[in-house]
Amino acid sequence: MEILMPEPQIYVERTLAIIKPDVINKEEEIEDLILQSGFHIIQKRKLQLSPEQCSNFYAEQFGKVFFPNLTAYMSSGPIVAMVLARNCAVSYWKELLGPSNSLRARITHPHSLRALYGTDELRNGLHGSLSISSAEKEIRFMFPEAILEPVPTGQRARDYLNLYVKPTLLAGLTALCKEKPADPMVCAA
């Protein structure tokens, strides 16, 4: 009888998630929902951004009517920044967040995080990266020490596993099998 083992998961995509100042008191609840949705929290930090840092983070929004209110809101208290990982992390996180306008989210996506925790379009509770490239940029902003190398996928991932991981595992398991335990009953437990 052959035992089938599931293929190991390689989390090929990361995204940035931010719990905004007005829902920081719901941090644990939100993290539980994130984990239940299949994400892994790779890095996490609580910080408070200055208005200048918020302006830099949201530089692409500069010139829009809501920009001053956005930077004031985001610098009004502590935030929690997290790097989330899973397959298709950016798109799954956007789906879990729902529409940016919390009022609209309550109608169209009532179980989304923004419907549950947001109050309006500005105070929507959470932030999510819009694309893989913006996720990389935002992760570097919030976690400057992070090393973001491209994670191999497909054949490159299989080649990496075959070249580096499998030989190490094989050598370790072979050495373990050659050891004769002093008390064989200890291994049976």
- 81-127 pLDDT, tens per residue? 999 999 999 999 999 999 999 999 999 999 999 999 999 988 999 99
**Which residues are identified as catalytic?**
127
Q: How confident is the model at residue 1 (pLDDT cuts 50, 70, 90)?
A: low
What are the Cα distances from residue 7, in Å, to 10, 121, 144?
9, 41, 32
Structural contact between residues 143 and 81, judged by C-beta atoms closer than 8 angstroms: yes
pLDDT at 150 over 70: no
- The length of the chain is 189
Whether the pLDDT of residue 12 is over 80: the answer is: no
Q: Strand 79-86 and strand 126-128: pairing?
A: unpaired
Q: Rounded to two decimals, what is the model's pTM?
A: 0.73
Domain boundaries, the chain: 13-142, 152-188
Mean per-residue pLDDT, 5-31: 86
Supply the pLDDT for residue 184. 61
C-alpha–C-alpha distance, residues 27 and 33, integer Å: 10
Q: What per-residue confidence (pLDDT) applies to 164?
A: 77
Average predicted confidence (pLDDT) for the chain: 88
The answer to whether residue 63 scores a pLDDT higher than 80 is: yes
What percent of the chain has pLDDT above 70? Answer: 85
**Architecture of the domain defined by 13-142:** 2-Layer Sandwich (3.30)
